[in-house]
Amino acid sequence: MVFSSITFLFYFLPIVLAVYYIVPKKAKNFVLLISSFLFYYFGEPKYVLLMAFSIILTYIFGRLIAKYQKAEYAKLFLILAIICSVGLLVYFKYANFLIENINLWLSHKIDFIYVALPIGISFYTFQMLSYLIDVYKEEAKVQKNIFKLAMYVSLFPQLIAGPIVRYTTIEEQIENRTHTMEKFALGVRRFIIGLSKKVLIANILGELVSTFVASNEMSVLYYWLYAISAMLQIYFDFSGYSDMAIGLGKMFGFEFLENFNYPYIAKSITDFWRRWHISLSSWFRDYVYIPLGGNRTSKIKWLRNIMIVWLLTGLWHGAAWNFVIWGLFFGILLILEKLFLGKQLEKKQLGKLPKVLSHIYVLLLVMISFIIFNGESTAQILQNIGGLVGIGGVPLVSNESLYYLKSYFVVLLIGVVGATPLLKNFVNLPKMKKISNFLEPIYLLSLLLICTSYIVDGSFNPFLYFRF
C-alpha cells in the first residue's frame, strides 16, 4: 500500500485516525502497532513475519546489551545483533548481486536465490541498528516493553520509505506525546503538500522519463529534458514521501526530523549532502564514519573512511553496480572538495566568480549523478551523459524533443521553482501572510481533489524508493 492510493487515503487512514482518537491514551500505541502491521501486510503479506522476527531479535539483544552493560558481554551481544540484522539485509537484498558477480569468476555457476526484496527492509534495519548501538553507548534507555519497541520499528508513516527515525528522536514521544488541533492541522497540510509533490510533479515527470527511455529519436535537447526531469522526479518523489511521513507523524502526535532542506540550492556537494536525505547521511556519519575515526586520524585513513561511507551509501540504495558507482562518484567529489575546493566553494565562492556559478557546478554534477543512478548499464550511462554534449552525432533538437518540451514545460517550470524556497519566502512575506492564511484551506482542498482525480484516473504512480 502506498500513501498516494485511494485505499490508503479514503479507507485505511480515516479508519485508523478515527479509532486512534476514540481509544484512551493507554491504547493509542497498540492501535498504531496493529495498524502498522496491517499496513505492511497489505504490501508484503509474506514478509510480516520477517519484520516481526527482526523486532524480536532486536528486543532480545537490546535487553541483553543493557543487562551486561558493564561487562564485556555487551559488546559481544551488539556484534551478534549487527551480524543478524545485516545478515538478513544482505540475504534478501544483496545475495543475487553477490552470486552474479562471483559467477563471473567460476566455471561452475551458483544458482540464484529466488526471493523478493521486502519493502522497507533497508529503513527498518537501520532503525533497529541505531537503537541497539545507542543502547550500547548508553545514549538511549533499553525498551523493556516489546510492543512499544515493535510500534517504533513498524510505525507505518515512516516504515517503507523513511525518514530513518532514530529511537532517541521519539523515545519520550512513545510514552508521552501531545495531540492538538494545531498539530493535526499542520500534519494534514504537510501531508497534502507531500502528496501533491508526488502525484502532480514526480509522477508526471516520471512519465517523461519513461517516454525518453522507450524512444529511439534522440537529440541533445531530449537528453537534457531527460536529465533534468529525472533529477526533479527523484527529488519530488522522495521529498514528497518524506513530507507525507512527517505530516502523518504530526497527526499521531509525533515530531519526526526533517529529511530534505532544498538540496538543489546547495553551493557545494558537501552542502548538498547536508540537505539531501538528511536522516541517511547523518546515520552513516554517526554510526560508520565517526566510529571509523572520521577526520581525526591520518589523511590516508580519513580518505579511506570517506570512501567506505560512500561505497556503503551507494550499496544501501540498491544491489547494482550503478548504485556503487553513484556512491563512489559522490565520495570522490567530496574528497576533492575537502582537499582542494571546499573553502573556495563555501566561503569565497571560487574567488571573484559570481555566486551562481557554484550552484551551477553543484547542479551539473548532481544531474550527472542521477543519470548514473537511473542507468541500467555502463553503456547506457555513458550514452546519456555523452548525449548532453552531442556525442554520438545526435542532432541538437528533434520534433519529438520539441513536442515534449512544449508538453511538459509548465510542470518542469513548477518543479524548478518548487525545488527552491522562492515560493515559501514569497508566501511568508508580511503582506502575503494574511492572504495566504485565508486562502490556505481552499488551495489545500483543491490540491487534494486534483491529486485524487489523478489517482482515480489510474495515472503513472510508481514509488522509486520501494526498490531500496
| Helical spans, DSSP H, in 137-286 | 146-154, 156-159, 167-175, 181-196, 203-214, 220-251, 269-275, 278-284
Q: Are residue 190 and residue 168 in the same domain, yes or no?
A: no
pLDDT value, residue 255: 94
Q: Are residue 157 and residue 222 in the same domain, yes or no?
A: no
Q: Are residue 78 and residue 48 in the same domain, yes or no?
A: yes
Total residue count of the chain as it appears in this document: 468
Cβ neighbours for 162, distance < 8 A, ≥ 6 positions apart = 123, 241, 242, 245, 259, 277, 279, 280, 465
pLDDT in tens, 410-460: 999 999 999 999 988 888 888 888 888 888 899 999 999 999 999 988 765
pLDDT value, residue 116: 83
Q: Are residue 254 and residue 368 in the same domain, yes or no?
A: yes
Domain that holds residue 239: 183-267+349-467
Domain boundary residue, one of 177, 206, 234: 177
Look over the chain and give the mean of its residue pLDDT values, rounded to a whole number: 91
pLDDT value, residue 351: 46
What are the CB-based long-range contacts (under 8 Å, 24+) for 36-41?
Answer: 36/151, 36/154, 36/155, 36/156, 36/159, 37/154, 38/12, 39/1, 39/12, 39/156, 39/159, 40/119, 40/120, 40/154, 40/156, 40/159, 40/160
pLDDT value, residue 438: 84
393 domain residue, yes or no: yes
Comparing CA positions, the residue from 162, 230, 212 lying closest to residue 465 is 162
CA angle 233, 238, 241 (to 5 degrees): 125
Locate 57 and state its grid cell: 531479535
pLDDT value, residue 43: 82
Q: Are residue 375 and residue 444 in the same domain, yes or no?
A: yes
Q: Are residue 431 and residue 410 in the same domain, yes or no?
A: yes
Q: Are residue 361 and residue 409 in the same domain, yes or no?
A: yes
Q: What is the DSSP letter of 142?
A: -
C-alpha 175/C-alpha 85 separation (Å) is 26
Cβ neighbour number for residue 351 with a 10 Å cutoff: 6
C-alpha 91/C-alpha 110 separation (Å) is 15
Cβ neighbour number for residue 353 with a 10 Å cutoff: 12
Q: Are residue 148 and residue 205 in the same domain, yes or no?
A: no
Please report which helix (H) or strand (E) contains residue 376, including its range.
none
92 domain residue, yes or no: yes
What are the CB-based long-range contacts (under 8 Å, 24+) for 340-343?
Answer: 341/268, 342/268, 342/270
Q: Are residue 27 and residue 123 in the same domain, yes or no?
A: yes
Domain boundary residue, one of 134, 154, 177: 177
ω into residue 45 within 30 of 0, thus cis?
A: no
pLDDT value, residue 86: 96
Q: Are residue 213 and residue 163 in the same domain, yes or no?
A: no
244 domain residue, yes or no: yes
Q: Are residue 206 and residue 114 in the same domain, yes or no?
A: no
Q: Are residue 97 and residue 210 in the same domain, yes or no?
A: no
Instruction: Give the active site residue among 179, 277, 317, 359.
Output: 317
Is residue 317 annotated as a catalytic residue, yes or no? yes
User: Count of domains in the chain?
Assistant: 2
C-alpha 143/C-alpha 386 separation (Å) is 53
* Residue with the three cell numbers 575515526: 293
316 domain residue, yes or no: no
Which stretches of the chain score pLDDT less than 70? 341-353, 459-468
301 domain residue, yes or no: no
C-alpha 248/C-alpha 138 separation (Å) is 30
298 domain residue, yes or no: no
Q: What are phi and psi of 21, to 5 degrees?
A: -85, -15
Longest C-alpha distance within the chain, in Å?
73
Is 278 within 8 Å of 257 (Cβ atoms)? yes
Q: What is the DSSP letter of 437?
A: H
448 domain residue, yes or no: yes
386 domain residue, yes or no: yes
Domain boundary residue, one of 177, 212, 229: 177
Q: What is the pTM of this model?
A: 0.92
